[in-house]
């Protein structure tokens, strides 16, 4: 009985979620094509998208694994520089140059490569760093992040105009702004879907078990080191992807902007939204990225207000505003059509 | 050859100078960590608070006909007040309700708060701090000894000895050691835990004020982010020596100072220009990573097994 029942519900959920995403994309396309969105608003949306990827991926480490990592921007920097240098190299080599599809493809290849290299570094950093936990892990990731930043700053080929005319200590300039809002939208959707399935998979459950009790998880036969490094690597991969998008949106890169203070901004988003809630991360990332733009005079006091709010959240709701709550379109749909969540749960009980 | 040696000695002295600043700041980290097991990220920013107090009080002191260094009294008071306030307002409620993780996030938030408050109040641009000491330079066997540098090192040593005596010999120091050993048991022995923690914060922050005096004597500039890097390096020093251990913080501070000064001077020639002095921050963080991986309890720390 159960075997038949659950996939049906799952299928329904998938259809509803797909419809929701398509609807959202439809709204975006209509708004863009009718010219209702200025380039300024599009820029804000792009920043929101990057923040969503960063916050959701960081939530894997901070929320689901329960360990603060302050070096996420180091991985973002690796992704950004790799992606930028690859698209630059492809342009000078005349590979996949041209408007439309070739541009998008080049952007995707660069960004994916950035993500992969960031993931490789995630493994390399994660294996030694994840032997520690708590405040020591926070400090060691901060250390690795800063080392990555200093090294990139001193790499000749990562400065100036790139490979051929590189200069250490300079910003990398002249990156083509290939990041297209539609493409970025789908990357964001894909990221959220992958992360969602990841935390609900066997791997995600193992990571949550490790957060709840490291030693008990190990005693139950989980290879805790493997799962910790896996979570860290997944975080690093998507940070690299976000970096790749950032590079092709902003057009020039400066290693100094990937310091640990930038990392703490993303940690703030995760903590605000709820440690262990991807919905929370998405909302917090969008709100905290858009708010300073909406209230220009506020942006000066932004960090001051955030830090006070952060302390208040920690005092009154230590797990973050949404805790571990996840929004579900399926549940909403069921509630609207009269099948309340409670009834469904009762039904499941009966079936058992 | 003679000049080579004198340059080397000069670098050692420079290292000792910045090292004694790191050591004083590291003492603050170590004391707080020892007592409540929290990395006080805001500790570096107490130095920043101290330097701004010095910036504004030195002219007043000079106008009153007092020597400039008397401004340190006000700086110490202000820093201790800020330290105790941060503890009472932010750390204490979180400590009572939340987890270790929320305490750590609160510490990061307080650091951001102090930095951004300073930026709003004083502006982001660096401001020059008045002259604090002006000692004549000594010359000893061809080595120039900067008077301020020697005084900085001397103050550092005196402060460290005084703190060590305070913790080992006085009743309050005994209470601190008791609370860091076992907070609950200390309460049962009639120790006022909250008061002890407040006093620890006050002393730690006062040390940060002294460190700001020593720092500003060599680098006379106040910026909102002055404490950020300085605090991180001092934290590395505390971890290197063994966090929670007072002599460890001193040792760690001196080692980090020496390593920094010597790598800045020699790394370029030693590696044939592959790694330049621009890497010095990365090298200090590299030390931290090596220590944390090889011996997380630090040079002077003992390995403690984890209880289930």
Which residues fall within 8 angstroms of residue B105, CB to CB, at 6 or more apart? A68, A267, A271, A310, A314
B121, B244, B285: which to substitute to probe chain A, counting the most A Cβ within 10 Å? B285
Report the chain B residue with the minimal C-alpha distance to residue A66: B101
pLDDT at B65 over 80: yes
Q: What is the pLDDT of residue B1?
A: 52
CA atoms of A217 and A225, how far apart (whole Å): 11
Q: How far is B143 from chain A (nearest CA, A)?
A: 34
A310, A316, A323: which to substitute to probe chain B, counting the most B Cβ within 10 Å? A310
Band of the pLDDT at A351, cuts 50, 70, 90? very low
Q: What is the pLDDT averaged over residues B87-109? A: 88
CA atoms of B174 and B158, how far apart (whole Å): 21
pLDDT at A1 over 70: no
A307 → closest Cβ in B99, B100, B116? B116
Which residues fall within 8 angstroms of residue B70, CB to CB, at 6 or more apart? B61
Encoded tokens for B204: 């730690």
Q: Is residue B81 helix, strand or coil?
A: helix
The alpha-helical segments, DSSP class H, found in A94-134 are 101-129
Compute the count of residue pairs across chains A and B with CB atoms less than 8 Å apart.
Answer: 118
Q: What is the pLDDT of residue B3?
A: 78
Could you please state the CATH topology (level 3) that the domain comprising B2-294 is classified under: ABC transporter involved in vitamin B12 uptake, BtuC (1.10.3470)
Consecutive H or E run containing A162:
none
Q: What is the pLDDT averaged over residues A29-37? A: 85
Q: What is the pLDDT averaged over residues A267-291? A: 92
pLDDT at A34 over 90: no
Say which range, A87-101, B33-47, B63-77, has the weakest mean pLDDT.
A87-101
Contacts of A307 in chain B (CB under 8 A): 109-110, 112-113, 116
CB contact under 8 A, A144 and B116: no
CB contact under 8 A, B105 and A147: no
Q: How far is CA A337 from CA A326, A334, A342, A343, B9, in A?
A: 20, 5, 13, 12, 81
Q: How far is A168 from chain B (nearest CA, A)?
A: 10
CB contact under 8 A, B105 and A131: no
CB contact under 8 A, A135 and B104: yes
pLDDT at A205 over 50: yes
Q: Which residues of B161-177 are buried (b: 16+ CB within 10 A; e: fewer)?
A: eebeeebeeeebbebbe
What are the tens digits of pLDDT across the range A126-177?
999 988 878 888 888 999 999 999 899 888 888 877 777 777 778 888 888 8
Encoded tokens for B163: 């703190």
pLDDT at A184 over 90: yes
Domain locations in chain B? 2-294
Q: What is the pLDDT of residue A339?
A: 60
A147 → closest Cβ in B103, B106, B285? B285
CB contact under 8 A, B120 and A135: no
Q: How far is A311 from chain B (nearest CA, A)?
A: 5
Q: What is the pLDDT of residue A178?
A: 87
Q: How far is Cα of residue A196 from the mean position of the Cα atoms in its chain? A: 12
Which residues fall within 8 angstroms of residue A157, CB to CB, at 6 or more apart? A85, A163, A166
Q: What is the pLDDT averaged over residues A311-325? A: 87
CB contact under 8 A, A150 and B281: yes
CB contact under 8 A, A308 and B113: yes
Question: Interface pTM (ipTM) of the complex?
Answer: 0.85
Task: Give the residue numbers in B contacting A (CB under 8 Å), as ranges.
Answer: 38-39, 90, 93-94, 97-106, 108-110, 112-113, 115-117, 120, 228, 232, 235-236, 239, 276, 278-279, 281-282, 285-286, 288-289, 292-293, 296, 306, 308
Q: What is the pLDDT averaged over residues B51-59? A: 91
Average model confidence (pLDDT) for chain A?
87
Q: How far is B293 from chain A (nearest CA, A)?
A: 7
CB contact under 8 A, A310 and B276: no
Say which range, A247-251, A293-297, B83-87, has the weakest mean pLDDT.
A293-297
Which residues fall within 8 angstroms of residue B130, CB to CB, at 6 or more apart? B55, B58, B59, B62, B68, B220
Average model confidence (pLDDT) for chain B?
86
Band of the pLDDT at B197, cuts 50, 70, 90? very high
CB contact under 8 A, A135 and B113: no
Band of the pLDDT at B142, cuts 50, 70, 90? low
Which residues fall within 8 angstroms of residue A25, CB to CB, at 6 or more apart? A182, A185, A186
Band of the pLDDT at B160, cuts 50, 70, 90? confident
Furthest-apart CA atoms within chain A: distance in Å = 71
Q: What is the pLDDT averaged over residues A210-219? A: 91
Q: How far is CA A296 from CA A45, A293, A301, B6, in A?
A: 16, 6, 10, 56
> In this structure, are residues B137 and B70 in contact, taking their beta carbons and an 8 Å threshold?
no
B34, B45, B91, B105: which to substitute to probe chain A, counting the most A Cβ within 10 Å? B105
Q: What predicted TM-score, i.e. pTM, was given to this entire model? A: 0.88
What are the tens digits of pLDDT across the range A62-106?
999 989 899 999 999 999 999 999 998 888 888 777 777 888 999
B112 → closest Cβ in A147, A151, A264? A264
Q: What is the pLDDT of residue A352?
A: 43
Q: What is the pLDDT of residue A234?
A: 96
CA atoms of B221 and B199, how far apart (whole Å): 29
Tell me how crowded residue B100 is: count the other CB atoms within 10 A of its CB: 15
What are the tens digits of pLDDT across the range B115-125?
999 999 998 88
Q: How far is B302 from chain A (nearest CA, A)?
A: 16
Band of the pLDDT at B229, cuts 50, 70, 90? confident
Contacts of B99 in chain A (CB under 8 A): 318
Percentage of chain A with pLDDT > 70? 94
Q: What is the pLDDT of residue A109?
A: 94
pLDDT at B43 over 60: yes
């Amino acid at each position: 009985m159960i075997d038949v029942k659950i996939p049906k519900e799952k299928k329904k959920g998938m259809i509803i979620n797909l419809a929701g995403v398509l609807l959202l994309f439809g709204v975006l396309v209509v708004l863009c094509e009718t010219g209702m969105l200025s380039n300024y608003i599009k820029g804000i949306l792009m920043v929101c998208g990057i923040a969503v990827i960063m916050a959701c991926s960081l939530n894997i480490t901070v929320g689901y694994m329960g360990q603060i990592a302050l070096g996420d921007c180091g991985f973002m920097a690796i992704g950004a520089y790799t992606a930028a240098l690859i698209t630059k190299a492809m342009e000078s080599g005349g590979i996949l140059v041209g408007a439309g599809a070739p541009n998008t493809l080049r952007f995707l290849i660069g960004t994916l490569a950035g993500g992969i290299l960031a993931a490789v570094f995630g493994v390399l950093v994660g294996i030694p760093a994840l032997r520690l936990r708590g405040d020591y892990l926070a400090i060691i990731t901060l250390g690795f992040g800063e080392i990555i930043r200093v090294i990139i700053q001193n790499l000749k080929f990562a400065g100036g105009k790139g490979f051929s005319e590189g200069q250490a200590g300079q910003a990398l300039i002249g990156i083509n702004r290939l990041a297209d809002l539609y493409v970025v939208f789908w990357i964001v959707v894909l990221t959220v879907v992958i992360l969602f399935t990841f935390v609900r998979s066997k791997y995600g459950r193992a990571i949550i078990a490790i957060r709840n009790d490291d030693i008990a998880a190990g005693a139950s036969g989980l290879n805790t080191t493997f799962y910790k490094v896996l979570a860290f690597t997944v975080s690093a991969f998507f940070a690299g992807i976000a970096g790749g998008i950032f590079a092709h949106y902003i057009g020039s890169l400066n290693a100094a902007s990937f310091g640990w203070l930038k990392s703490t901004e993303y940690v703030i988003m995760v903590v605000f939204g709820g440690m262990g809630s991807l919905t929370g991360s998405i909302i917090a990332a969008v709100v905290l990225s858009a708010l300073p733009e909406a209230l220009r005079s506020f942006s000066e006091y932004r960090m001051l207000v955030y830090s006070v709010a952060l302390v208040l959240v920690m005092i009154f709701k230590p797990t973050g505003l949404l805790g571990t709550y996840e929004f579900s379109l399926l549940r909403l749909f069921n509630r609207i059509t009269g099948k309340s969540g409670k009834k469904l749960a009762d039904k499941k009980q009966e079936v058992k | 050859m003679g000049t080579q040696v004198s340059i080397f000695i000069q670098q050692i002295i420079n290292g000792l100078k910045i090292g004694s600043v790191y050591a004083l700041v590291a003492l603050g980290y170590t004391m707080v960590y020892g007592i409540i097991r929290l990395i006080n990220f805001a500790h570096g920013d107490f130095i920043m608070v101290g330097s701004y107090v010095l910036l504004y009080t030195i002219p007043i002191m000079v106008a009153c006909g007092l020597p400039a260094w008397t401004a340190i009294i006000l700086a110490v008071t202000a820093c201790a007040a800020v330290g105790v306030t941060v503890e009472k307002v932010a750390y204490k409620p979180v400590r009572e309700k939340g987890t270790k993780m929320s305490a750590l996030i609160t510490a990061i938030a307080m650091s951001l708060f102090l930095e951004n408050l300073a930026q709003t109040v004083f502006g982001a641009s660096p401001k020059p701090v008045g002259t604090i000491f002006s000692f004549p330079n000594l010359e000893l066997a061809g080595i120039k000894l900067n008077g301020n540098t020697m005084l900085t090192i001397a103050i550092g040593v005196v402060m460290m000895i005084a703190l060590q005596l305070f913790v080992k010999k006085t009743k309050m120091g005994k209470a601190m050691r008791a609370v860091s050993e076992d907070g609950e048991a200390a309460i049962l022995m009639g120790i006022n835990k909250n008061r002890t923690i407040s006093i620890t914060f006050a002393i730690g922050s006062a040390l940060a004020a002294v460190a700001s005096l020593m720092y500003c004597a060599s680098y006379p500039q106040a910026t909102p982010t002055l404490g950020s890097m300085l605090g991180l390096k001092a934290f590395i020093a505390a971890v290197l020596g063994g966090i929670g251990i007072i002599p460890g913080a001193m040792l760690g501070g001196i080692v980090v100072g020496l390593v920094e000064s010597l790598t800045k001077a020699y790394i370029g020639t030693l590696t044939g220009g592959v790694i330049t002095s621009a890497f010095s921050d990365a090298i200090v963080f590299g030390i931290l990573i090596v220590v944390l991986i090889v011996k997380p309890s630090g040079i002077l720390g003992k390995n403690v097994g984890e209880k289930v």
